[in-house]
């Protein structure tokens, strides 16, 4: 479980990443922002603050689309799918998890990314 000081560091990192110039540091700024948002989303999901976790998941998904990175999209859709599952929104959870799984390309990703493995496991719960 993250401590209050860890959340403070995540929040500080999020502010710092937001201040970086996207023109000069696009990948660094957005990549850092993605990691920080992912940490905060996981924290709030584990605390069962599901609406906040969902909002952070949507921010992750938006940022992943801007990064145009398949690994980030796999993780962001998986994150939204898990959150929707806990919210009881099973059709939405299924759509996100299907997208996460569908984005995985065995040719491009030499092995399954951890996010795909988690998405497959969570899809089993959604379909149960």
User: DSSP letter string over 53-77?
Assistant: HHHHHHHHHHHHHHHT-HHHHHHHH
CATH no. for 4-127: 1.25.40.10
Q: Which pLDDT value is given to residue 103?
A: 87
Q: Which residue has the higher pLDDT, 106 or 115?
A: 115
pLDDT single digits (tens) 4-47: 665 666 566 555 545 544 444 444 466 678 888 888 899 999 99
Locus of tokens 């919210």: 87
pLDDT of residue 65: 93
Q: Which residue has the tokens 């922002």?
A: 33
C-alpha dihedral sign at 116, 118, 119, 125: positive
DSSP H helices, the chain, are: 4-19, 22-46, 50-67, 70-87, 90-103, 114-127
Q: Which residue has the higher pLDDT, 115 or 58?
A: 58
Question: Do the Cβ atoms of 125 and 85 come closer than 8 Å?
Answer: yes
At 42-60, the pLDDT tens digits run 999 999 999 999 999 999 9
Is the pLDDT at 90 greater than 80? The verdict is yes
Q: What is the pLDDT of residue 94?
A: 97
User: Domain segments of the chain: what residues?
Assistant: 4-127
Quote the DSSP letter at residue 1. Answer: -
């Amino acid at each position: 479980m993250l401590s209050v000081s860890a959340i403070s560091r995540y929040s500080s990192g999020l502010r710092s990443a937001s201040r970086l110039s996207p023109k000069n540091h696009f990948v660094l700024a957005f990549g850092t922002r993605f990691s920080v948002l992912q940490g905060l989303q996981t924290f709030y999901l584990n605390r069962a603050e599901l609406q906040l976790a969902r909002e952070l998941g949507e921010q992750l998904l938006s940022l992943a689309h801007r990064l145009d990175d398949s690994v980030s999209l796999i993780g962001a859709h998986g994150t939204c799918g898990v959150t929707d599952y806990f919210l009881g929104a099973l059709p939405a959870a299924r759509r996100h998890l299907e997208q996460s799984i569908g984005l995985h390309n065995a040719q491009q990703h030499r092995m399954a990314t951890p996010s795909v493995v988690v998405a497959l496991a969570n899809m089993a719960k959604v379909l149960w």
